Structure 1
Amino acid sequence: MYSSIAVIGFDLPALDELLQRSRVANAEADVTGLLLFREHRFLQLLEGPESAVREKMSLIAEDPRHERVRVLLEEHVLVRQFPEWTMGYAADGALRAASVPGYRTAFDDIDSLPDNQVGGPVASALRELIRWFRTE
């Protein structure tokens, strides 16, 4: 799971186009996951073969539309969390209304962490968020 800041503005049509292209590319690479976008921030979970996920992360890190790409949670799991989702997506308003555990109301705690040092409450919140999406 990583976070990044969008350098360009994404309105709903631009985000829909990004999702459409990502879903096709992810299906071809056998990558599944979840994308959240709020206040110019991406929070994305990618899962699949390690080489495919690392390739996607390299592309994202080099993409000029992103800055401050940070891996927040990296785990090897035996079973995918979202095997049917080439890229699941949820809008900010729906998440707020649902009182999602682990939902970020601010990013101060993530921003204040040194690069490559994430754990504790941030990792716990991310795991709760993943569990909620998986079951809901």
Structure 2
Amino acid sequence: MNLPIYQLMYVSTASWPLNTDELSAILDVSRAKNQRANVTGLLLHIDQGFLQILEGPEAAVMEIFRPIERDRRHFGIRVLVQQHVAERLFGGWSMGFDRWTRGEPRTADMFKITADAIENAISPEKAAALAVLLRSFYRINTGGGAATGR
């Protein structure tokens, strides 16, 4: 019997402006850990915040998330979604990644929704829908994968 996929989505604020090398190091470690644990997902660096979706076996997702909660590179972690789902949204990516900045036309609407989530101005129902919206956004705008999705 297949267990349902556990999905966790959170937002947080970066403790300092992270440069490209720091973000690359985060991604390298995340991708290796996630691949070993059968966890997939997406990490967005948005202005000075993060939105991350982790999905996989519940125990594995929580094992990945615990050190994230203690990571000093960000603060104000707010879990938006914790649910079991029938299938993965980002099954092809050990950790897809994108970096958004304010004012980019392609991400303006998504930036607003995510900024609202960081500021705790989004309902749990809208937060769950945000994960599905992100998958659709990447399928439409990238032909199925983020520029740096792996």
TM exceeding 0.5: yes
Q: 1:8 to 1:110 in 2, by over 3 A?
A: closer
* CA drift at 1:27: 0.6
1:104 aligns with 2:111: yes
Structure 1: state its 5+ residue gaps.
Answer: none
Question: Residue in 2 aligned with 1:132?
Answer: 137
8 Å contact 1:73–1:118 — kept in the other structure? no
Deviation at 1:77, TM superposition (A): 1.1
Asked whether the 8 Å contact 2:100–2:107 carries over to 1, the reply is: no
Supply the RMSD in Å over aligned alpha carbons. 2.5
Cα deviation digits, residues 30-64 of structure 1 (max 9, x gap):
11100100222010010011001112221111112
TM (norm. structure 2) is 0.74
Residue of structure 2 equivalent to 1:42: 50
| TM alignment of 1:1-136, pairs within 5 A | 1-92=9-100, 96-99=104-107, 103-105=110-112, 107-108=115-116, 110-113=118-121, 118-134=123-139, 136=144
Q: What amino acid is aligned across from residue 66 of structure 1 in structure 2? A: H
Q: Is the 8 A contact 1:32 1:87 kept in 2?
A: yes
Measured after TM superposition, the shift of residue 128 of structure 1 is 1.5
Q: Deviations over 1:3-50 (max 9, x none)?
A: 011113211121112111111111111111001002220100100110
Change (3 A) 1:109 1:56: closer
Q: Contact conserved, 1:33 with 1:45, CA < 8 A, in 2?
A: yes
Count of residue pairs the alignment pairs up: 131
**Structure 1 residue 126: deviation in Å?**
4.0
Structure 1 length-normalised TM: 0.80
Shift of 1:65: 1.5
Tell me if structure 2 keeps the 8 A contact 1:81–1:134. Answer: no
Q: Extract unaligned runs of 5+ from structure 2.
A: 1-8, 145-150
CA contact (8 A) 1:33 1:44 kept: yes
Q: Residues 118, 34 of structure 1: CA spacing in aligned structure 2 closer, same or farther, 3 A cutoff? A: same
Does the CA contact (< 8 Å) of 2:53 and 2:131 recur in 1?
A: no
Which string of whole-angstrom CA distances, capped at 9 and with x for unpartnered residues, describes residues 78-133 of structure 1? 2111112010012216x934357x612362464245xxx84244443443123322
